[in-house]
Amino acid sequence: MILADFDSVLAATRQNGDAGFESSIGNFPDQDILALAYELGAASPKKTSVKKARAGIRKRIQESLLLTFQQKGTTANESANTT
């Protein structure tokens, strides 16, 4: 369930940027935001505010998007080098 939540926020952010992130994460109850942040390693289980949890989730989303972008760039570079 939590992985599906992350994937849905990631997809919304990929499509609509910050607005997609905000609209997607805004649909989650505070407890789910805290749980997602904890599972992503972006928050401690007891001392994290919802605001910090959202910031941590945003950071993980940005990291995921960056890694995806880098992997696509590497694949394109490898293809260019083999032709």
Residue 38 has pLDDT above 70, yes or no: yes
Give me the domain span that covers residue 72.
Answer: 2-82
Distance (Å, rounded) from C-alpha 83 to C-alpha 80?
6
For the residues 45-73, what does the mean pLDDT come to? 90
Q: Give the pLDDT confidence of 5-26 residue by residue, as tens digits.
A: 999 999 999 999 999 999 999 9
Give the long-range contacts of residues 35-40, CB within 8 A, separation 24 or more: 35/2, 36/2, 36/5, 36/6, 39/2, 40/6
> Please, what is the angle between helix 30-39 and helix 50-82, to 10°?
50
pLDDT of residue 77: 52
20 neighbors 12 (Cβ within 8 angstroms): yes
pLDDT at 47: 85
Q: How many domains does the chain have?
A: 1
pTM: 0.81
Is 83's pLDDT higher than 60? no
